[in-house]
A and B are shown apart, each in its own frame.
Chain A
C-alpha cells in the first residue's frame, strides 16, 4: 500500500506529460502544439525551481537566470561553433549547474528575504553582463543560421522534434524531482526547509546540501534555454533574463503547492491556462503581468514572511495555539 502511494506520486505526473504530448496529435491543430510546448516548458522549469523553493525552502526571484545563461552558452555553441543540438543542450545544463555551484557558495549563506533579493541582483547583473559581452552578440544577441535546421530535417521537422525534446526534459525534471523527494538527500533538504539550525544539529551538512539543491534546480532550466532558443532561432538578453518569468515560476510553484512532485505541475498548468486566456482576451492582454503580480501578492499575503506553504503556515498558528 505504501509502495503504491509512492508510485502514484510519479505515475500521475507522468500521465499528465503523456497527455500533453498526445494533445496536439489528438486535436490536430498546429496551435495546440505551441500551447503544449509552453506548458511542458513551464512544468520543467517550475519542477526545477521546486527543488530549491519547495524542498529546501529558499525563495529565488531570479531562477530564470539559469534558463538564460545556460541557454546562451548552449546556443552560442550551436550557432557559432557548429555543435549539435544534443551537445549544446548538455553544455547549457552543465554551465548553469556550474553557475549555480559558484553562486551557491556565495549567496546561499543568506537566509530569507536576503537570499531572495540576492537572486534578483544576480539575474540583473547577468543580463547587464551579457548585454555587454561581444562574444554573445551584446544587446543584439545571436541569430541561428536557417541552414542549421537542415541537420534535423528542415525547420518544420526541427520544430516538431523540439516539442518531443521539451517533453523529454519535462519527464527528466519530474523524475529528478521525485528521486530527490524520496531520497535521504531530500529528507535533509526538507529538514533544512523546516528548521535549518535544528537540521544542522542533527547532522545535516546544510551548506553542502543547499548548494547541491541549487545546482540540481539549475541544470534543467539551462537545457530548456538552449532548446527554446534553438526553436526560436535567436536569443537576446531581453528574452533570456526576463524577471517577470521568474515571478511567474514562483506563482506556478506556490499556486500548485510547493514541496510536492505534483504541485508545480498543476500550478504550471493552471497558470499557463489562465495566462493563455488573458493574452487572447483584449481586456486582459495588457495587464496579464499585473494579474500574476496580484496573484503572487494574494498567495504571499496568506503566508507570513519566511514561511513556505499555506499548510505549514496553518501549523505555525496551530503550534502557537498549542504552546
Chain B
C-alpha cells in the first residue's frame, strides 16, 4: 500500500486564530477520504495548506513521498494534484472549453493546446456539460459551474483530487449524478479527499472518514466507526438521535 499523501503535525494560524492544530493523517493511493466537520472547522484551510495556497506554521506535508510543505499551488498542480473550490472560480470571460483546457495545458501532463481541446471535450462529456462548451463560463448556472470546477480538475488527469463541497447547492437529482461521478472517478484510479456536509453522501462514498472540529482532528475511521464515535456525535452531530436519523435517511 503506497501512501500518496502524508500530513504530519500540520498547524496553521491566522493571526490569533488557530485554524489547524497538529493535523496528522496518511492517505493511501486509490482511496476516498471523507473530510467532515462543522462550519469553520478548518476543512477548506486544510485543503489550502495541502495544495500550497497557505504554508503551515508547523509540520510537513509529503506528496508522493516528496516534501511539498513550502511549494506553491502551481508546483503541486504540476506534480499531479488538482482541486475544486467551495466557492466556484470560473474564468468568466473564457469559454467553458477554454476553462477546461487550462487544466489540461498546465497540469502535470503539460498538454499542447490541440491535445488539451480533445481532453476538454472528453471531460466535459463525462461531467455532462459538453453542450455548453462554447458558452462563456460566466453564463453557467451554479450546478454547471460546479461541474466545470470538476472538469477543470479532471482534465489534468490528477493523481490526487481535492473536492470541496461539490454537492452543496445542488438539487437531489444533481446530487445523485455528482456522487455517481465521484465513484466513476475513483474507478479511474484517482485518489480523492472529499469535504462534504451531506452525511449520507459522504458515508456512502468514503473508504475512511476524518473529522475536524475547531481545527483539531477528533476522529478518524471507517464510516461506521465515525457515526458511532461519541466525540463526533457530540461535536459534529450534536445529538445522537439526529445522528441515527441522518444515517437512516434513505
Contact = CB atoms under 8 A, between A and B. Distances in A.
A62 interface: no
A143 to B, nearest CB: 47
A315 B83 contact: no
A259 B105 CA distance: 20
Given A315-B136, A316-B138, A198 B74 contact: no
B108 A203 contact: yes
Nearest to A57: B93
Nearest to A323: B142
For chain A, what secondary structure do more than half of its interface residues adopt (helix, strand, loop), or is it mixed?
Answer: helix
Contacts of A198: 85, 89, 91
Contact of A312 (B83, B93, B107): B93
B74 A195 contact: no
A171 interface: no
Contacts of A206: 74
5 contacts: A197-B53, A202-B156, A203-B73, A203-B78, A203-B106
Interface stretch (B12-20, B96-104, B171-179): B96-104
B228 interface: no
Interface residues of A, number: 29
A183 B113 contact: yes
Interface residues of B, number: 35
B28 to A, nearest CB: 24
Contact of A190 (B82, B91, B113, B142): B91
A199 B142 contact: no
| Top-9 shortest CB links A-B | A203-B77, A315-B138, A203-B106, A194-B91, A198-B89, A200-B73, A312-B93, A201-B73, A191-B102
Contacts of B92: 194, 312, 315-316, 319
Contacts of B78: 203
B188 interface: no
A168 B116 CA distance: 34
B89 A203 contact: no
A311 interface: yes
Contacts of B90: 194-195, 319
A187 interface: yes
A201 B106 CA distance: 10
Contact of A311 (B93, B101, B102): B93
A315 B102 contact: no
Nearest to A315: B138
Contacts of A164: none
Given A204-B106, A309-B93, A315-B93, 16 more contacts: A184-B105, A187-B101, A190-B98, A191-B91, A191-B102, A194-B94, A195-B89, A197-B53, A201-B74, A203-B107, A204-B74, A315-B136, A315-B139, A318-B138, A318-B139, A323-B142
A322 interface: yes
A191 B73 CA distance: 15
Nearest to B110: A203
A203 B91 contact: no
A141 interface: no
A302 interface: no
A114 interface: no
Interface string A170-207: 00000000000001100110110111011111111110
Nearest to A208: B74
A202 B112 contact: no
